């Protein structure tokens, strides 16, 4: 099964998104969270991300969901030196994308299918004016 | 073809977790399964996906129809009807 890694600039943000998505799929998907800088302040931590990538490692791959683009750079830095790990970084909105990805992963979707489901979050309508 | 219709009475309508549960349940069957929000006439019949379910704009009081066509359509509708009533039609 595809696993998910949430990378955000706040540990609480990453953990909150992880909690929500995990709850939605009743704990059936391996979802990890990495957030905050080394000193606990806002930011990202390449070593922590690398550790979580290794922990998340699945033969079917890992989809990484991020809050902002500097998190992408941290993930890319964390991936340097890691071998035999199948990872895709998603450009989806963090909360909705993680939710949709988790549901898709939970039914046994491939990494490509899970990544596509996450990206659909870009067009998810939440506010209706009627 | 087998179908069921039910009225959603959950105050939050069809929200994230029940949508996930319903979609996940559809994947246990081989039949083609579709959903329609009968309370929004302009709303199309959609294939089962959690994204599509969240886009149907189903709020409390809306009537929805679930259809299945295929070898296990009766079992599919029976299971989906039970799940939807349990999660979305309380009280």
Q: What is the pLDDT of residue B91?
A: 54
Q: What is the pLDDT of residue A40?
A: 87
Assess whether pLDDT exceeds 90 at residue B77: yes
Whether A54 and A3 have beta carbons less than 8 Å apart is answered as no
pLDDT-derived band at A45, boundaries 50, 70, 90: very high
Q: Could you tell me the end-to-end alpha-carbon distance of chain A, in angstroms, rounded to an integer?
A: 40
Q: Indicate the residue of A106, A120, A121 with minimum beta-carbon distance to B24.
A: A106
Section A41-61 average pLDDT: 96
* HEC assignment per residue over A37-52: CCCCCCCCCHHHHHHH
Q: What is the pLDDT of residues A67-81, one digit of tens each?
A: 999 999 999 999 998
Q: What is the mean pLDDT of chain A?
A: 96
pTM: 0.95
Q: What is the pLDDT of residue B29?
A: 98
Q: Indicate the residue of B17, B24, B57 with minimum beta-carbon distance to A107.
A: B24
User: How remote is the C-alpha of A40 from its chain's centroid?
Assistant: 20
Residue from A9, A23, A30, A129 carrying the catalytic annotation = A9
Predicted interface score ipTM higher than 0.85 = yes
Q: What is the pLDDT of residues B23-73, one digit of tens each?
A: 999 999 999 999 999 999 999 999 999 999 999 999 999 999 999 999 999
Asked if B50 lies within 8 A of A125 by C-beta distance, the reply is no
Catalytic residue status for A9: yes
Section A109-119 average pLDDT: 98
| Residue B58: count of CB within 10 angstroms of its CB | 26
For residue A38, what are its two tokens?
């080394």
Q: What is the pLDDT of residue A128?
A: 86
* Euclidean distance between CA atoms A98 and A119, whole angstroms: 10
Q: What is the pLDDT of residue A129?
A: 80
Section A117-124 average pLDDT: 97
């Amino acid at each position: 099964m595809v696993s998910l890694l949430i990378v955000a600039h706040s540990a609480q943000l990453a953990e909150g998104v992880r909690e929500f998505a995990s709850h939605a799929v009743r704990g059936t998907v391996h979802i990890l969270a990495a957030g905050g800088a080394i000193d606990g302040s806002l930011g990202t931590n390449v070593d922590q991300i690398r550790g979580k990538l290794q922990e998340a490692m699945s033969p079917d791959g890992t989809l990484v969901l991020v809050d902002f683009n500097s998190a992408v750079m941290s993930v890319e830095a964390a991936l340097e030196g890691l071998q035999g790990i199948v990872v895709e970084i998603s450009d989806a909105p963090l909360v909705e994308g993680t939710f949709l990805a988790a549901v898709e992963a939970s039914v046994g979707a491939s990494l490509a299918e899970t990544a596509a489901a996450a990206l659909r979050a870009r067009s998810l309508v939440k506010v209706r004016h009627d | 073809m087998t179908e069921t219709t039910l009225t959603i009475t959950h105050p939050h309508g069809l929200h994230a977790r029940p949508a996930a549960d319903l979609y996940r349940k559809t994947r246990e069957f081989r039949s083609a399964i579709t959903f329609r929000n009968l309370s929004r006439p302009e709303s199309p019949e959609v294939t089962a996906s959690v994204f599509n379910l969240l886009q149907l704009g189903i709020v409390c009081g809306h009537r929805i129809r679930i259809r299945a066509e295929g070898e296990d359509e009766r079992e599919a509708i029976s299971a989906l009807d039970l799940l939807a009533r349990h999660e979305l039609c309380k009280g």
